[in-house]
Amino acid sequence: MGYIPGTGDYLNALAQDLHPLDEGIAWFTALPEDEQTETLRLLAAFCFQAHPTPEEALESIRRSGLRPTHTPAVLLVRGRIEHQVGTIAGLTPQHERMKAFRLLIALLAVADARRRARCRIDGCGHHWHHLTAAP
């Protein structure tokens, strides 16, 4: 079964490298502004649930390809991460939205990888931790 772009499973599949990030970026870019906002809010919620650490925040900046001086990167390392992901999701200029998308996908990838590894040890019923690549 494939993933429908725009669903939580699709965003998780992007974070898990089950789909190329370039595909996700093209999809996100094509969304109307209101849907981009909702997508960023959903990503922020996923990141919040993954409880990223400060070290994971730094790693996600590196993985995202953003410079540490880009607005979303600066926000991520300033203050409590759980609060900052919501601020990042609320950025409005289009060029900042793209940076926010890249960073939040990377943050979800890093933080949720830790959680998936723990699931393999402790067991886990979250279906998004058991996604597989679409054929």
pLDDT for residue 52: 95
- What is residue 121's predicted lDDT score, i.e. its pLDDT? 52
Task: Print pLDDT tens along the chain (135 aa).
Answer: 344 555 788 999 999 999 999 999 999 999 999 999 999 999 999 999 999 999 999 999 999 999 999 999 999 999 899 899 999 999 989 999 999 999 999 999 999 988 777 765 555 554 444 444 444
Q: How far apart are CA 50 and CA 116, in angstroms?
A: 10
Residue type, 3: Y
Estimate the share of the chain in helix, then strand, then coil, as percent rounded to the nearest 5.
70, 0, 30
Instruction: Give the count of alpha carbons within 13 A of 6, CB side only.
Output: 10
CA dihedral 90, 93, 98, 99 (to 10 degrees): -70
Residue 122: the pLDDT is: 56
Between CA 74 and CA 72 the distance in angstroms is 5
Q: 134 lies in a domain? A: no
Q: Please report whether residue 133 resides in a domain.
A: no
pLDDT of the residue at 97: 96
Domain contains 15? yes
- Terminal CA-to-CA distance of the chain, rounded, Å? 7
Please count the structural domains in the chain. Answer: 1
Task: Give the pLDDT score at 114.
Answer: 87
- Is 113 inside any structural domain? yes
Q: Is residue 77 part of a domain?
A: yes
Q: Is residue 37 part of a domain?
A: yes
Instruction: Please indicate, yes or no, if residue 44 is contained in any of the structural domains.
Output: yes
Prediction pTM value: 0.84
Q: Give Cα separations from 12 to 25, 46, 78, 97 (angstroms).
A: 14, 9, 25, 18
In a domain, 131, yes or no: no
